[in-house]
Amino acid sequence: MEKEQHRSINTTNGSLDDLKYQSGFGNSFSSEALPGALPQGQNSPLVCPYGLYAEQISGTSFTSPRKLNERSWLYRIKPSVTHEPFKPRVPVRGKLVSEFDKSNSSTTPTQLRWKPVTVPDSPTDFIDGLYTVCGTGSSFLRHGYAIHMYTANKSMDNCAFCNADGDFLIVPQQGRLWITTECGKLQVSPGEIAILPQGFRFAIDLPDGPSRGYVAEIFGTHFQLPDLGPIGANGLAAPRDFLVPIAWFEEDYKPGYTIVQKFGGELFTARQDFSPFNVVAWHGNYVPYKYDLSKFCPYNTVLVDHSDPSINTVLTAPTDKPGVALLDFVIFPPRWLVAEHTFRPPYYHRNCMSEFMGLIYGGYEAKSDGFLPGGASLHSCMTPHGPDTKTYEATIARGNEAGPHKITDTMAFMFESCLMPRVCPWALESPFMDPDYYKCWIGLRSHFSYEGMNAKSNDLKNEHDGSADRATVVELISKTML
């Protein structure tokens, strides 16, 4: 078969718009780019069809319970091991962290916010444009997470990236990503997310040039769909809307091809003379995948109060404690607000979890300004936060007659974790750090008023002798709180 035919199996005129995918979450998938390439009846025949090598990639220990066990079998032209020794990458990339401690990060309970970072003019691919903002734990100890951002303007050239530390959840904010993986190709546009599990080799092309986005990396676990509890069997992210690549391969001779391996937060390189995207067929449940956030089916209050943000969980990476997430991926999509006599924006709160937020497009309901697409904020464990002054005042001014209102053209998200993050120095010292963030709340004034309480409690007051002295009001307040 002609090499060119191989390349064109899943692409049309160089575009990925017509890519085909497999649908589902956690399925046992299978795909072959050539008929009969997938061995039947066993995983590792003495000689595989087409003379392919069989290679397993495991995402969980061999003995993990079946419901958690993830692995795939790849049938490839040459096995991954066919490369020269790994060497430290030069120049050293110093802004990636996978084991957080005092030497590379610091703690602060202060509310932090960053303006959108400018995409550099100098040629920068996804690897060089990736930097850690915050995180905690250790990839060595298989517990923790890192939150990164990237700004890049050029496709990866003759190289592939492999992350031995954890799974990437990529949230593009500007520019599409064309991601070639060992299982096939993904096109991921802003408004979609991609999950690239630990160990998979991938290359990212940037068809739109300047690109920017967010990345959550989790150590020692994988993302799951959240339980739906009383919601029932349907709602939130539907399994069928998760899309998995179909097999695609290339067999070209590629002298000097480089595998860049992130291992313990450090980058290593190894040379080989062929593409790692030489998997002709594969099967298994350990796969890269993508999800279109516009497919999310949000649930919310239909009478009173603001629901906890967990109602909008797309994916969750669990800890061993039931209901406690190493990292939840939560979105705030377009939706109707209908609650009666309710403060509709997010309530003021202090959370035992830590919250990193980003904005893909539009505005966010709790911030009238200052939180921009491509920007970010971090509210760590027990750090108070909530709507800014303008949002509070505007909401109160609308009163109880606000009526149903649809939030449109927006997509904010949150990475929420039970683990407290440490923040990297380049993030704290970034020129894009907003030193005035605290001012969005500093203007919140007291609305406390005995007169107001009197007005709202006329009926109650009439039960008394009509006096409105302080003692009476305090008594009334106590009575209404019972």
Alpha-carbon dihedral angle through residues 168, 298, 397, 361, given to the nearest 10 degrees: 40
Residue number, 69 or 111, with CB nearest to Fe ion: 111
Q: Cβ of residue 137: shortest distance to Fe ion, in angstroms?
A: 21
Q: Provide the b/e sequence for 189-203 (b: ≥16 CB within 10 Å).
A: ebebbbbbbbbbbbb
Q: What is the DSSP string of 365-397?
A: TTBSSS--TT-EEEE-TT--B---HHHHHHHHH
Residue number, 221 or 380, with CB nearest to Fe ion: 380
Residue number, 197 or 421, with CB nearest to Fe ion: 421
Q: What is the DSSP string of 229-274?
A: GGG-SS-BS-GGGEEEE-------EEEEEEEEEEETTEEEEEEEEE
Looking only at residues 234 through 293 of this chain, which bind Fe ion when binding is defined by CB under 5 A?
none
Q: How far apart are CA 372 and CA 332, in angstroms?
A: 14
Q: Cβ of residue 280: shortest distance to Fe ion, in angstroms?
A: 47
| x-marked contacts with Fe ion along 340-369 as a string, rule CB under 5 A | ---------------x--------------
Q: Cβ of residue 336: shortest distance to Fe ion, in angstroms?
A: 21
Judge if the upstream peptide bond of residue 322 is cis by omega within 30 degrees of 0.
no
Q: Cβ of residue 168: shortest distance to Fe ion, in angstroms?
A: 24
The residues, ordered by sequence, that sit 6+ positions from 440 with a Cβ below 8 Å of its Cβ are: 367, 370, 388, 389, 390
Contact 313, 224 (CB under 8 A): no
The active-site residue, picked from 83, 222, 306, 379, is: 306
Residue number, 426 or 438, with CB nearest to Fe ion: 438
Looking only at residues 393 through 452 of this chain, which bind Fe ion when binding is defined by CB under 5 A?
none
Residue number, 182 or 355, with CB nearest to Fe ion: 355
Q: Which tokens is 405 given?
A: 């209102």
Residue number, 111 or 454, with CB nearest to Fe ion: 111
Q: Cβ of residue 366: shortest distance to Fe ion, in angstroms?
A: 8
Q: What share of the chain is helix, strand, coil (3-state, %, to 5)?
A: 15, 35, 50
Angle at 463 between CA 458 and CA 469, to 5 degrees: 65
Q: Mapping DSSP to helix (H, G, I), strand (E, B) and coil, where does residue 482 land?
A: coil
Nearest to 134 by CA among 146, 149, 144, 117: 146
Q: Cβ of residue 355: shortest distance to Fe ion, in angstroms?
A: 5
| x-marked contacts with Fe ion along 304-343 as a string, rule CB under 5 A | ----------------------------------------
Residue number, 134 or 152, with CB nearest to Fe ion: 134
Q: Cβ of residue 361: shortest distance to Fe ion, in angstroms?
A: 20
Pairing of strands 253-263, 159-163: parallel
Residue showing the smallest CB distance to Fe ion in the complex: 355
Q: Which tokens is 179 given?
A: 């991601």
Has 349 been labeled as part of a binding site? Answer: yes
Has 385 been labeled as part of a binding site? Answer: yes
Has 355 been labeled as part of a binding site? Answer: yes
Q: Mapping DSSP to helix (H, G, I), strand (E, B) and coil, where does residue 316 land?
A: strand
> DSSP code of 25?
S
> Residues in contact with Fe ion, total (CB under 5 A)?
1
- The question of whether 306 is a catalytic residue gets the answer yes
Instruction: Label residue 122 exposed, middle or buried (CB < 10 Å: 0-12, 13-18, 19+).
Output: exposed
- Residues comprising the binding site for homogentisate? 364, 385
Active-site residue list:
306
- Residues comprising the binding site for Fe cation? 349, 355, 385
- Residues comprising the binding site? 349, 355, 364, 385
Which residues contact Fe ion (rule: CB under 5 A)? Answer: 355
